[in-house]
Structure 1
Amino acid sequence: MSRRPAQAQRATTRRGEKPKPRGTARRPQRAGIVDQAIAGLPISPETLHKVTTWSIVGAVGAVVLTVGILAGVPQMIGVGMAQAVGDAGLRVDEIQIDGLKRMDRATVYEQVLDQDSRAMPLVDLGDVRARLLKFPWVKDARVSRRLPHTLHIYIDERVPAAIWQNHGRLMLIDADGVALEPVSAEAMPDLPLMIGDGANLQEAARKRLLDTQPGLKPLVKATSWVGNRRWDLFFTSGEKLQLPEGEVAAAAALKRFAAIDAAQRLLGRGNLGFDMRDESKLVVRRQGVIEAPQPAAPAPAPGPVLAPASGAPAAAPASAGIGQGEG
């Protein structure tokens, strides 16, 4: 008799209890949130899966290589691991090159592809950069990996500043005098012409000299570095100006020549050349004669062009053409 009321009481208690929510009731809601988040991404689920796979493979590969190096694993095992990572998808399938304007793009590709393996971990970035720096056009280069399969190369290319004529050969050079590549006389770009042994290494000095006289600079069609010590200037009107040795003396002489030309118009009047190697005078050369020296003066007064000096020695007809120059 005592058991039946207890059982009835337990049964009543169970019937009176409120039903507890089942633990699986919220699972569809959580799954729906994830699905909505994935659907909101700007990439397809297939692409997301690939990116996730490549990221995991790359991370695992990096950890394996790092642990192998720290643990002293033989190099062959490390290379094998890296090759396995490459076989899994981390391979150089694309080469992106930026900064090229004049250098042959195929040359850059050759230096990158000349590797023992195309596996991304085995591409020696330092070796690729060192190879590229051997080419004259390359001033600097940066090489980096862009996982999963792109190698990015940025070339800091040299800029042509002048044309160097030496022993009949024409060569493009940059502002530092680095010879870039030969150029034909028929395809010469509109750049300053420099002549003589070692003239390429004087490009900065040539620019400084002509920049002191911006009015004369457009009239100079070529400069000749003579005897590795001084300049001859060739003007578009055909004359040659011989300057003294030394950067300061040459700049002072050119300044004086510009002042005399402004006052007396030396250029474009049939003169063959002007000699200012002696800083105290200006000698004007004409066909068959040498005119009297012009006294040194910072600002000569306007007047007629110098008259021939009495008893001045006759000079053989000189050529105003461009050459290697004389000492």
Structure 2
Amino acid sequence: MATVRRKAKGVRRSAAATSRANTARRAKAKTGSVMDAAMALLPFTEDQLHRVFLAVIIGGAAALAWFVASLAGVPAMAGQKVSALAENSGFVVRNVTLRGVDRMNELKVYQRVQLGQPMTDVNLEAIRSDLLELNWVKDARISRQLPNVVVVDIVERTPHAVLKQPDRFVLIDAEGHDLEPISETNAKGMLVISGPGARKYVRELADLLNAAPALRPQVAEAEWIGNRRWNLTFGTGQMLALPQGEDISAAALVQFAQLDGKSRLLGGKVATFDMRAPERIYMRIPGRAKERLNTGGGS
């Protein structure tokens, strides 16, 4: 029986293989040291990093599962089941409790809450958004009162004055928001504001009148002139022309109040008081020439 001997590996080939193995070990060691150095710079332990990677993997899997379920309509079917269960259990909107309404039309509030729908389907934020579009509603809070009541708390805007427009009278609040149309008859006794652009200066007018509290109840109308100043008409029918500028007009109104307290200007024969000129009041009496009252100190 003949014996066949395998040819031994050449010396050069063996040396090359050994060299390649040594190079691979050195590269692996170098890569490991670089990775270790990079990991050492991070403010996490190895255990914490494992938890982060695990959370990312689980989160991604959950998002994928939800996406697939959404395509299959599973959340919608679940919502329908919950709504049906709530309805069968008596959790259905049967009543609306409305609070805080004094002047506005309550029906406009009730129309925004759908009776008969399951309590789980009541969209509180959507109802609130609809209510805030109503002129009278300054703020609103909507809540569920189980088993079958929706509670609506309304904060109404407060009527402040009447805005006189070319074709109608409109009730407004202190910010100039329209509340509702009003007849001229019903506007009697309220402050009537007029003039192009007057709506934007309702708050400034209130501050002006507050500077002279004694005169404020006697002001019947305020007209915004030339987009720069006010003419005030009192309940006596007399008119006061104020100068331009918030501080200057407030000072003039205070001065007029002091003069009225001393000389009873309101209710007299003077039809118009003009305070646009510094330190002087020009007074017009029907049928007579314009008179001038010097209010400067010393002359």
TM over 0.5: yes
SS, match of residue 148 in structure 1: coil
Q: Per-residue CA shift, 1:250-278, capped at 9, x if unaligned?
A: 01111222233333332222212011112
Partners of 1:272 and 1:207 in 2: how far apart?
24
Q: Unmatched 5+ residue regions in structure 1?
A: 1-67, 302-327
The Cα of 1:128 is off from its aligned counterpart by 0.6
C-alpha distance in structure 1 between counterparts of 2:263 and 2:102, whole Å: 46
Report what 2:292 is aligned to.
293
- Distance change in 2, residues 1:189/1:240 (3 Å): closer
* Residue of structure 2 equivalent to 1:200: 199
Cα deviation for residue 72 of structure 1 reads 4.7
In the alignment, the residues of structure 1 paired with residue 84 and residue 68 of structure 2 have an alpha-carbon distance, to the nearest angstrom, of 19
For 2:97, the equivalent position in structure 1 comes to 96
CA distance in 1, matches of 2:224, 2:167: 15
SS at match of 2:207: helix
Is 2:250 aligned against 1:251?
A: yes
What CA distance in whole angstroms lies between the structure 2 residues aligned with 1:69 and 1:164? 56
Cα distance change on mapping 1:131 and 1:69 into 2, 3 Å: farther
Distance apart, 1:241 and its partner CA:
0.6
Aligned pairs, number:
231
Equivalent residue, structure 2, for 1:158:
157
CA 1:78–1:196: 2 relative to 1, 3 Å: farther
Deviation at 1:189, TM superposition (A): 6.0
Q: Which amino acid aligns with 2:286?
A: Q
Q: Write the letter of the residue equivalent to 2:79.
A: V
Question: Deviations for 1:275-324, whole angstroms, at most 9, x for unmatched residues?
Answer: 111223211111244434322326x89xxxxxxxxxxxxxxxxxxxxxxx
> In the alignment, which residue of structure 2 is the partner of 1:140?
139
Counterpart contact for 2:189–2:220, Cα < 8 Å: no
Unmatched segments (≥5 aa) in structure 2: 1-64
Deviation at 1:184, TM superposition (A): 0.6
Residue of structure 2 equivalent to 1:84:
84
Moved more, 149-158 or 84-93: 84-93
Cα distance change, pair 257–198 in 1 and its aligned pair in 2 (3 A): same
Aligned-partner residue type, residue 76 of structure 1: A
Give the CA deviation at 1:199.
2.1
Residue 228 of structure 1 aligns to a residue whose secondary structure is coil
Asked if the contact 1:230/1:243 (under 8 Å) is kept, the reply is: yes
Output the CA distance in 1 between the equivalents of 2:291 and 2:141: 61
TM (norm. structure 1) is: 0.65
In the superposition, relative to structure 1, how do residues 149 and 202 fare at CA in structure 2: closer, same or farther (>3 Å)? same
Normalising by the residue count of structure 2, what TM-score does the alignment of the two structures yield?
0.70
The 3-state SS of whatever aligns with 1:187 is: coil
Q: CA deviation at 1:195?
A: 1.7
Alignment of 1:25-44 (within 5 A): none
Cα contact 2:229–2:242 (8 A) shared by 1: yes
User: Matches of 2:126 and 2:280 in 1, distance apart?
Assistant: 58
CA distance in 2 between counterparts of 1:93 and 1:69 reads 34
2:112 partner SS? helix
Measured after TM superposition, the shift of residue 243 of structure 1 is: 0.4
Separation (CA, whole Å) in 1 of partners of 2:291 and 2:66: 83
Aligned partner letter, 1:79: G
Match of 1:268 in 2: 267
Q: Which residue of 2 aligns with 1:280?
A: 279
Q: Give the deviation of 1:86 after TM superposition.
A: 3.2
Render the CA deviation track for 1:29-64: whole Å, top value 9, x for unaligned. xxxxxxxxxxxxxxxxxxxxxxxxxxxxxxxxxxxx
Is the Cα–Cα contact under 8 Å of residues 284 and 293 in structure 1 kept in the other structure?
yes
Aligned mates of 2:237, 2:186 — CA distance in 1: 22
Deviation at 1:131, TM superposition (A): 0.4
In 2, Cα distance between the equivalents of 1:295 and 1:268? 20
The amino acid of 1:124's aligned partner reads: N
CA distance in 1, matches of 2:178, 2:191: 14
Deviation of 1:70 after TM superposition, in Å, equals 10
CA contact (8 A) 1:195 1:224 kept: yes
Pick closer, same or farther for the CA change 1:101–1:71 going to 2, 3 Å: farther
- Give matches, 1:219-238, under 5 Å: 219-238=218-237
**CA RMSD between the two structures:** 2.4
Cα distance per residue 1:193-223 (max 9 Å; x no partner): 2122232332222222122222222322111
1:84 partner SS: helix
Amino-acid identity (%): 35
Map Cα deviations across residues 115-169 of structure 1 (whole Å, 9 max, x no partner).
xx70111111111111000001000111111111111111111111111112242
